[in-house]
Chain A
Amino acid sequence: MTDQVLVPTSADEAVSLYGSGEGLTVFAGGTILLPEIATGKLRPERALMLHKAGLDTIRTENGRTVIGAMVPVAALVDHPIDLLAQTARHVADAEVRRNATVGGNICAPPGPDAQRGDLAAPLMALGARVRSAGAGGERTEPIEDFLAGDRSGRLVLEVELDDVERRTAAAGLRRRHAHSYAVAAVVGAVRVDGSDLRLAAAGVAPTAVRLRAVEESRDAGDVLRDVQPVDDAVASAAYRSSILPKLVREVLDRLELK
């Protein structure tokens, strides 16, 4: 049984209790952790529960949208940022989305059978930054850098996006099943003047991946230079490699880049 369960009642208290994160299991919505704890696969000695720490609001300030780590995925389903709303609607089902959180979705490691964390791809395409705390203090960095770095000692506090008008597009493949993880998903965003194209893929590798080679060349075939698809129970690497360029082409077409 867990020896110590910490329930901070503010973001500052959460950050100070988290410290460097050493020996601490962060518990957000619990959709991944709780079944592992209940079945004894995971036995956290100390748990930090964030449900009373604030961090659960979406606010707009100084031309930015700031999404707290504890905002439930359900709250994004009707969000005006269409690319986020569209992706959120595909995360599990309405009930699971009430527990699942934005911070948890970003931090979700790949499962035993499938890749997880669909929200990171649209956040990448929209140029989101992650504000996190941990040893060395707080820092804010592009979500692709956060995901590529060592996240084990970081506590995600917020995600922020600049409110810039963009055209967005998404193309994905999933099984007809509410709880099926994506076979592959590609999202893209570009400013209305055609600049700042950002593309990302989810469901094909352990984290979402930004497709920089394609952004540069605008050639869908380059996607396999950006990402090495993996095998899992949802799809084979070979299949993902064959459909990814098609999904990228669809997104590029829909973004009307000429």
Chain B
Amino acid sequence: MKLIVNGIEQDVASPPLTPLLHVLRDELDITSPKAGCQQGGCGTCTVLVDGEPRRSCLTALAAVDGAEITTLEGLGGPDSLSPVQAAFYNHYAAQCGFCTPGMILAASHLIESHGRPLERDEVLEGLSGHYCRCTGYVKIVDAVLAASRGEATEIEDLPVAVPGEPEVQPKGSPA
């Protein structure tokens, strides 16, 4: 079977009833989709299938044979953050970060498919299947609202860890 993951065609050998989540993580080593509850209830495994957010733990490989899959890695990297990724950074929307990939992918689709700035209630409804067990919802919703308003997302001091060099302190962290 075949998947187009973040624009790259991949032949995959997992059995047809393998959850897409495990194909991505275990066969393709793409680890942004998280194995949370693995029964559809938490949203951490969300990926885009042909542009629409779906739970990769509930999606059988055979059911998406040939589909385009976008994971967080496909949205943008450290030097090319997508507007939603940048908004999450600017608004301190990640705490432990486990729910962040699913939140960002779902929020990106929510904003794109909406076509106008979102109201807070619309974000709450749109992300209602995504849990943040750090309970950092206020900042997550703020970030999504800011991204939906198209707020400037320039990031000048994004810390990028360079192998061999001391880790850069994130913006705003204690010295």
**Contact surface of A with B, Cβ cutoff 8 Å:** 1-2, 5, 7, 27, 29-31, 34-35, 37-39, 44, 47, 49, 51, 92-96, 98-99, 178-179
Contact = CB atoms under 8 A, between A and B. Distances in A.
Contacts of A92: 40, 129
B59 interface: yes
B46 A49 contact: no
Given A38-B38, A98-B54, A99-B54, A7 B129 contact: no
A44 B126 CA distance: 34
Contacts, number: 80
B24 interface: no
Contacts of A93: 43, 128-129
A95 B39 contact: no
Interface in B30-81: 38-41, 43, 46, 52-55, 57-60, 62-63
A1 B57 contact: no
A96 B40 contact: yes
Contact of A5 (B16, B59, B106): B16
B15 interface: yes
Contacts of A39: 38
9 smallest beta-carbon distances between A and B, as pairs: A93-B129, A178-B128, A35-B39, A5-B16, A51-B63, A31-B58, A95-B53, A178-B129, A179-B41
A179 B54 contact: no
A1 B22 contact: no
B175 interface: no
Nearest to B41: A179
A37 B41 CA distance: 16
A101 B106 CA distance: 20
A51 B63 CA distance: 6
18 contacts: A1-B15, A7-B16, A30-B63, A34-B60, A35-B38, A35-B40, A35-B58, A37-B17, A49-B16, A49-B62, A93-B43, A94-B128, A95-B43, A95-B53, A96-B40, A96-B129, A98-B54, A99-B55
Given A2-B17, A31-B55, A38-B19, 15 more contacts: A1-B15, A5-B16, A5-B62, A7-B16, A7-B62, A31-B40, A34-B19, A34-B58, A35-B57, A35-B58, A49-B63, A93-B128, A96-B129, A98-B52, A99-B59
Contacts of B18: 38
Size bracket, chain B contacts: 20 to 34
Contacts of A31: 40, 55, 58
A29 B58 contact: yes
A96 B19 contact: no
A7 B57 CA distance: 20
B46 A95 contact: yes
A99 B16 contact: no
Contacts of B54: 95, 98-99
A177 to B, nearest CB: 9
Nearest to B18: A38
Contact of A94 (B58, B60, B126): B126
Question: Which of B38, B41, B52 gathers the greatest number of chain A CB atoms within 10 Å?
Answer: B41
B57 A34 contact: yes
Contacts of A94: 53, 126, 128-129
A47 B38 CA distance: 21
A34 to B, nearest CB: 5
B63 A179 contact: no
A224 B117 CA distance: 48
Contacts of B63: 30, 49, 51
Contacts of A7: 16, 62
B11 to A, nearest CB: 18
A29 B40 CA distance: 12
A94 B106 CA distance: 10
A77 to B, nearest CB: 11
Contacts of A29: 58
